[in-house]
Amino acid sequence: MYNRGVFWWLNSLLLQGSSHLFQQGDLPPLDPKLASETVGYQMESAWQGCSKTSRYSLAWVALRVACRPLLCVICPRICLIGFNIAQPLLIYRVISFLDDPTNDQTRFIGRALIGAALLVYSGIALSTASYQHQIYRYITLIRGGLLSLIYNQTLRLSAGTLTDHSAATLMSEDFDRIAVGFEHSDVVWASPIEVALAIYILYREIGLACFAPVIIVVGCAGSAYSLSKRAKVAQQHWMNALQDRISSTSFFLSNIKGIRISGLSEPSSTKIDNLRIHELNKSKRFRQNATTRMTIGVLPETIGPAAAFIVYVLIARRSGQGILDPAKAFSALSLVSLLSKPILNFLYAFPILVASLSSYDRIQNYLLMNQGRLNSALASLEQSKPRERDLYPVKVPVLDTVQLQTLDQPDRRKPSNSLIKINNASFSFKTDDKPTFQGVSINIKRDSAYILIGPVGSGKSAFLLALLGELKLTEGTMLKAPECGIAYCSQEPWLPNLSIRSIIQGPSDFDEIWYAEVINVCCLETDIASLPQQDMTVIGIKGMRLSGGQRRRISLARAVYSRKQLLLLDDITSGLDTVTENLVIQRLLGQKACWPILTCAVHFKHMVDTIIEVNPDSSTVNVQRSYQIPETPEIYEDDPMIQLDVCPGNPQPDIPEEQATRVSEAPSDVSRRIGDASLYLLYAKEMGLASVIMVISTSIGFCFFSRFPNIWLKWWSEAESREPSKRNVRYIVGYAAFGVSATVCFLLLYWIFLVESIPRTSIRLHRRLLKAVTAAPLSSLILVDTGFILNRFSQDMSLLDMRLPGAMIQTLDGLLDAIAEGVLIAQSSPWTALTFFPLLAILYAIQKFYLRTSRQIRHLDLEAKSPLFTSIIETCDGITTIRAFAWQETFRQLNMSLIDESQKPFYLMYSIQCWLTLVLNLLVMGILVVLVALAVELRNTSGGALGVALNNVSAISATLAYVIQAWTSLETSIGALARLKSFQSETPSEHLPNECHDPGSTWPSTGMIQFIDVTTQYRWVILSALCEFPVLKLHIVL
């Protein structure tokens, strides 16, 4: 209990992080209660069993599944309310104690006040850390559940639905909005309680004058509530624009090779840049709304005290009773602060919480999307056995799917000769679409080979999808044998970025003899032998380190190795030279155990039993024996092409593993632990000198006009004690002027920074990243996972858009506040000022000790998200293949293991923030106890000076925590800029300095390409890939 309550368990982690560099495996294991296996199963079951008519159904499911941490918030949060209410009572009693006579009784009371201060502020420290920790556990829980839900739904949806990769945005940007919304969810119910208690106690202190700040608070709350509705709509528009950009960027990165070869790099990058501009223009409405809300929210803090004191003085003058003495003034100021802060927190947090519901809407809409397929569990009859080295067992609920009917077998011991039997069936991509095929009748039998023919665009690939259950069956019947497993090779091979052996083996157990036979059948021996790492070579994004023929043969090898009963091949020999093509087909069909094959390789029709012809005009499928088919028309024949031989001894464009270093995901190890000041200069440069000066100036103005009223109130209350009501007008006008000026400075600060400067800066930083990617040679990009680069465009850009600016302005504001409060404390209590020197040393040690670990944890957090991006993108691209092989369970388990790995740094980041809050609050508790002890023992200070000191020490506790947490968030968020800078500097560019010749506007004069004594190579360290060849005319085929 003690270990968890004071976060003692984190000390060893922080000690290790302060002196060592963390790797993912160095982190402590995840709490089993937070594991995605557990919460994912609970979330899936709750979602499948709930009513989905409400737009908030998913939000209620998340609350119900993870209700225990939220219930655990209540007790410490109520305790915190009590301790906060005790603060102004303690301040009033300590100040009034100075006027009591000195005797044994007052000495006892004084020591009791010291104990009360110790109790109140230690209670604040412990209860704050406890309730925040439970909220962070809730966020971690629903993260595991929602990410599992999104991935499970991805495995169900049709391939056409997943082309935009919207799941990647939902798993990153949308959940980030949900997490931010729930970080302060406690204020929804706790703030009204705090406000009601503060109003009651304030009424006892200053009477009817307490309603002046209350009216301001109610007006602000109403305005903020109205604005929060618009914030939700504005954020949804922003998220939609962001998803469009991420989807386009994902498509660009996934197809970078084809885009480069087609000469479309510049138009594609221009499109992405325009989408970025559009996204940030959409964000301005939300930013304007947020700036307005924050300005309204600060009014109770800047105008509220002035209104309360003005009304109190006016009532006192009319009634002739009561004066604004220091004890009353500063206890009332503390109460007004206690009244305004919950409202300020409410006005800040509630709209964000409401806006986060739009992200819930987007996820819920994704979960409710129509699966659009005949049989979403077609391949689920044969479960794949996961490999223990990279997968974990997991309980997965039975999905609500439509099974294909199975063929009746009178004798179960004798398998049916039919694998798939279709009778008068019609298929379409959607239920309400025109049938793609109609009147189809076919019987796919065992021990038979089939060939599928038809002109280009006739629907051959679509017919294979129909056999896989990826199309809707609108009429007729389609029966499938229970033991019929299907292996599928798509026209464009789907290959994850793994080693060749891992791809071929899949989730099956490794059989060395069978593996060698499969390699021989697919003619891969020579290709694998030529690679430095042989079959352990990682193939790159979409197999970009391989040729087109190699990709197809590896895809074929994967299908053959799976030993499925039915093998569907979609134009698998395309891109192979004639010799290799003939050899592969002969070996494949020459096996003793012959597989039924459907292929589009028309020139092998003489080797099969049955030919299936697709008629594009009537959307029909004709079946004939192979000897009944005449010679193939010319429209089916391939064009002859020239074959280019690679240089002997160097047939592959592979890059040795020791030289295939990936682009660094972060800056150097030292800067990752210590930081890099040059990053702030880079950000300031992109922001612009004028904007920097205006932001700093308005921030200083806000700090001065919001803190100097403490001194003004001291002068006012002391003057009122000496000469009641003599100079009230001057003090009233001055106090009000300070409040108005602070509000104006606050509005200017956030408008200039958040609305005007940040979008402009973000566009420039995005262009830096986009330029680095588009200028990088293809040989560099194939070494980096798509998820890693996409993480730079999504997660890092999100940090640069919101978290970094917010942390930056909070750090600046908090630092100035801390300096101002320190000055006020030193001026009011010189003895307390002596504690500042050891205090500063302790604070420096804490932030240095803490930041060295927090930077690394944040880095690991972002690093662990990259495999999640890669996983979801590869799943979207290969969903048809995954379902055909019945690998849904395997990939679901793999995704859960990736979620659990990413949960470790995610949860630890929140936990060490709670540790920091606790340490800072305990530190401030020590200062306050010292201040109270000095006041009650020495009794050599005035009530006004002590009121200023106590109020500012109370405030400085929150300010110090605010500053260090903001600084920590800034240092970790600036890592996004560090990674951008690192990526830009470490990624080579194709635009070399000597390549600046302008061919002129008339080039080219003729449409011809000539190769004259050309020698090419893949990288400088690799031998030539193509030998010299003379001038010739050729087709270039990749």
Per residue, the 3-state secondary structure of 997-1008, as one string, reads CCCCCCCCCCCC
CB 938 within 8 A of CB 814: no
For the record, the structure tokens of 103 come out as 């005797």
Helices 304-319 and 689-722: crossing angle in degrees, nearest 10, is: 20
Contact 167, 155 (CB under 8 A): no
Looking at the domain assignment, is residue 100 inside a domain?
Answer: yes
Question: What pLDDT shows up at residue 633?
Answer: 41
Residue 1028 lies in a domain: no
Distance CA(932)–CA(970), nearest Å, equals: 34
pLDDT at 744: 92
| Conformation bin of residue 998: beta by default, left when phi > 0, alpha when psi is -120 to 50 | beta
Segments of the chain scoring below 50 in pLDDT: 374-412, 592-594, 627-671, 1020-1038
- H helix or E strand, kind and range, residue 610: strand 610-615
How high is the pLDDT of residue 651?
A: 42
Q: If DSSP codes are grouped into helix, strand and coil, which group holds residue 430?
A: coil
Q: Are 768 and 824 in contact (CB under 8 A)?
A: no
Dihedral over alpha carbons 163, 164, 165, 171 (to 10 degrees) = -150
Q: What are phi and psi of 540, to 5 degrees?
A: 90, 180
Which of 368, 598, 375 is CA-nearest to residue 473? 375
Contact 555, 493 (CB under 8 A): yes
Residue 595: HSE in the Cβ half-sphere, 13 Å Cα cutoff: 24
Specify the length of the chain in residues: 1038
The total of structural domains in the chain comes to 1
Residue-level pLDDT at 78 = 92
Give the span between the Cα atoms of 971 and 855, in whole angstroms.
7
Q: What is the pLDDT of residue 387?
A: 37
Structure-block tokens of residue 681: 């200069």
CATH of the domain at 960: 1.20.1560.10
- The verdict on whether omega for the bond into residue 351 sits within 30 degrees of 0, i.e. cis, is no
The pLDDT value given to residue 600: 64
In 3D, which of 860, 865, 859 has the Cα closest to residue 899?
Answer: 865
In a domain, 590, yes or no: no
Strand ranges in 689-776 using DSSP code E only, listed in sequence order:
none
Residue 486 pairs in a beta bridge with: 566
Distance CA 375, CA 381 (A): 12
- Supply the DSSP symbol for 941: S
Omega within 30 of 0 (cis) for the link into 386:
no
Is residue 719, in this structure, part of any structural domain at all?
yes
Q: How far apart are the first and last CA of the chain?
A: 64
What distances in angstroms separate CA 766 from CA 140, 169, 270, 687, one per listed residue?
Answer: 29, 17, 12, 13
626 and 449 Cβ atoms separated by less than 8 Å: no
Measured CA to CA, the distance from residue 692 to residue 616 in angstroms comes to 64
| pLDDT for the residue numbered 24 | 72
CA 677 to mean position of chain CA atoms: 26
Distance, in Å, from the CA atom of 671 to the CA atom of 846, rounded to the nearest integer, reads 18
The upper half-sphere exposure of residue 707, i.e. CA atoms within 13 Å in the direction of its Cβ, equals 25
Q: Return d(Cα 330, Cα 950) in angstroms, integer.
A: 9
Rounded-to-integer distance, Cα 300 and Cα 219, Å: 10
Comparing CA positions, the residue from 601, 600, 604 lying closest to residue 459 is 600
Pairing of strands 610-615, 566-569: unpaired
Let me know if residue 162 belongs to a domain.
yes
Write down the pLDDT at residue 748: 92
Q: Write the secondary structure of 340-387 as one string of H (helix), E (strand) and C (coil).
A: HHHHHHHHHHHHHHHHHHHHHHHHHHHHCCCCCCCCCCHHHHCCCCCC
391 located within any domain: no
- pLDDT score of 663: 42
Domain of 683? 2-20+35-371+665-986
d(CA 923, CA 122): 10
* CA–CA separation, 500 and 488 (whole Å): 17
Which of 837, 1009, 793, 636 lies closest to 269 in space, CA to CA?
793
| Three-state DSSP state, 651 | coil
Q: How is residue 529 written in tokens?
A: 């032998």
Tokens of 501: 């052996």
- Report yes or no on 141 lying in a domain: yes
For residue 187, give the 3-state DSSP assignment.
helix
Residues 6 or more apart whose CB falls under 8 angstroms from that of 1020 comprise none
Question: What count of other Cβ atoms lies within 10 Å of the Cβ of residue 1032?
Answer: 9
With respect to residue 797, please indicate whether it lies within any of the assigned structural domains: yes
CB 121 within 8 A of CB 972: no
Q: 486 and 884 in contact (C-beta within 8 Å)?
A: yes
Pair of tokens at residue 844: 């420096």
Name the nearest CA neighbour of 309 among 719, 855, 800: 719
Laid out side by side, the sheet with 418-428 consists of 405-406, 472-480, 418-428, 437-445
